[in-house]
Structure 1
Amino acid sequence: MNEDNAAIIDEASTETLMSYLPEFAQASWETLQMLLFGLPVAVIFGGIIGTLLFLWRPSGLRENRILFFITGSVVNIVRSFPFVILLISVGPLTRVLTGTTIGPIAAAVPLSIAAIAYFARIVELALNDVPKGVIEASLSMGASIPRIVFDVLYTEARASLILGFTALTVSYISYSAAAGIVGGGGIGDLAIRYGYYRFQTDIMLVTVVTLIVLVQLIQFAGGRLAARYNRK
């Protein structure tokens, strides 16, 4: 009798999970939207800011202590904000840029701001690890600053940059779960709405396992790619 009851419970749980497949697919698409919108923005602007911080630092190729201090301070301030507070505080900017404060694209705005500051520091640290002798050799051969940046710095630091981008992507996925607080949607929001508020642990378990598998795949791919391009 107990085995029959267990079979009935398992069947009911399976049917419940299957009934949520459309919502799970929608949540996955919303998470993907956040990634597709936010990560390129973070890489472009964060990469530019991180490179400028490297160039403007004391004894840098284009030393400018004032700009280095101001830019670095802004980056540190953004990184110091708890993400939930950042989500709420940039609401007016989000509305100006997207016309709304609800949905995955709107949530991608604060996500992008946090990611830009995060990736800027990653780029700065990666470029700091480039051997000074390589840079000095390029300067002695008359290479311009843009040439050094693109042909020397980025090439020498590409393994570190790949690992940094991998860490950024993992953190971005983690932060995207908090986007559900402001109606951003996504897999994390599905886990909160059904797994936490409605006490449906099976839904929460599926979403958590999905996020774990996704993060592990990204980490594995990033590690392999970085190892391939590691010049050390």
Structure 2
Amino acid sequence: MIPLENTWFANPAIQKALLPALGETLQMVGISALVTLVIGLPLGVLLYITRPGAMSANRPLNFILSSVVVNITRSIPYAVLMLALIPFTRWLVGTSLGPIAASVSLAIASIPFFARLVETSLREVHSGKLDAAHAMGSTKLQSITKVLIPEAMPSLVASFTTTVVTLVGYSAMAGLIGGGGLGRLAYNYGFQRYQIDVMIMTVVLLVVLVQLIQWIGDAVSKAIDHR
């Protein structure tokens, strides 16, 4: 048996900092994922229903939401967006450091990404189902909540899973500017101090986390898909 002092787990960084760093990563991803879902889903629905030919077609509003809000934000690399939002983050939460502060830039980066995926998922719903709902007297809101979203739910779950997986990768970058988490741990110990064991452990944890999120998302999507 290999003595503990000769293994990676004897490294103080792994013993004392690995689990707290994982907790910070989960905190960042959890907060930003929740905000993304709450804001991104309605935004994606608006993108869908205001497009030309849709039930609430509004070309000016659709242009603003699609071309200005979504496309411009998505075109900015996350590393640049993260730095540009430091003053706003400091104003909003009182600091630019820590997982709470990092959640601000993570959410702003992922909301338009998820909204576009939501719009794409809603486009997969056959228009005949909406027409049938309208023919039976459903209001626009009822058509959205009772037909459109339920029919697209498996695809929406898959889209949200993709977004959360992307947030895990973004959270590692956020750690480089004081966000904490596994990214910060890998940078401080794996890069600056050349501790390859810490780097490998953080990479393994990130891979396992992504695989777990993807497995849960796929299982939920499959369970609710009755097509």
Same fold (TM over 0.5): yes
Instruction: Say whether 1:168 aligns with 2:196.
Output: no
Distance change (3 Å), C-alpha of 1:44 and 1:19: closer
Partners of 1:103 and 1:19 in 2: CA distance: 18
Superposition pairs for residues 78-227 of structure 1, below 5 Å?
A: 78-227=73-222
Q: Secondary structure at the match of 2:226?
A: coil
Q: Secondary structure at the match of 1:39?
A: helix
Equivalent pairs: percent with the same residue?
Answer: 42
Q: Secondary structure at the match of 2:137?
A: coil
Aligned-residue CA RMSD (Å): 1.6
Equivalent position of 2:25 in the other structure? 31
TM-score by length of 2: 0.95
Paired residues of 1:156 and 1:231 also in contact (CA < 8 A): no
Code of the aligned partner of 1:131? H
TM-score by length of 1: 0.93
Partners of 2:33 and 2:171 in 1: CA distance: 12
**Structure 1 residue 15 displacement after superposition:** 4.8
Q: Could you list the per-position Cα deviations for residues 51-103 of structure 1 after superposition, in whole angstroms to 9, with x for gaps in the alignment?
A: 00101000011000000001101201111111010001111110111001111
Segments of structure 1 that go 5 or more residues without pairing to the other structure are 1-6
Alignment match of 1:43 (pick from 31, 34, 37): 37
Partners of 2:88 and 2:13 in 1: CA distance: 37
Partners of 1:44 and 1:224 in 2: CA distance: 22
Alignment match of 1:60 (pick from 54, 63, 78): 54
Q: Secondary structure at the match of 1:157?
A: helix
How many positions carry a matched residue from both structures? 226
**Structure 1 residue 10 displacement after superposition:** 7.5
Code of the aligned partner of 2:6? A
Rg larger in 1 or in 2? 1
**Structure 1 residue 18 displacement after superposition:** 5.6
Code of the aligned partner of 1:207? T
Partners of 2:40 and 2:2 in 1: CA distance: 53
Paired residues of 1:180 and 1:186 also in contact (CA < 8 A): yes
Segments of structure 2 that go 5 or more residues without pairing to the other structure are none
Partners of 2:167 and 2:13 in 1: CA distance: 28
Distance change (3 Å), C-alpha of 1:49 and 1:15: closer
Partners of 1:63 and 1:231 in 2: CA distance: 30
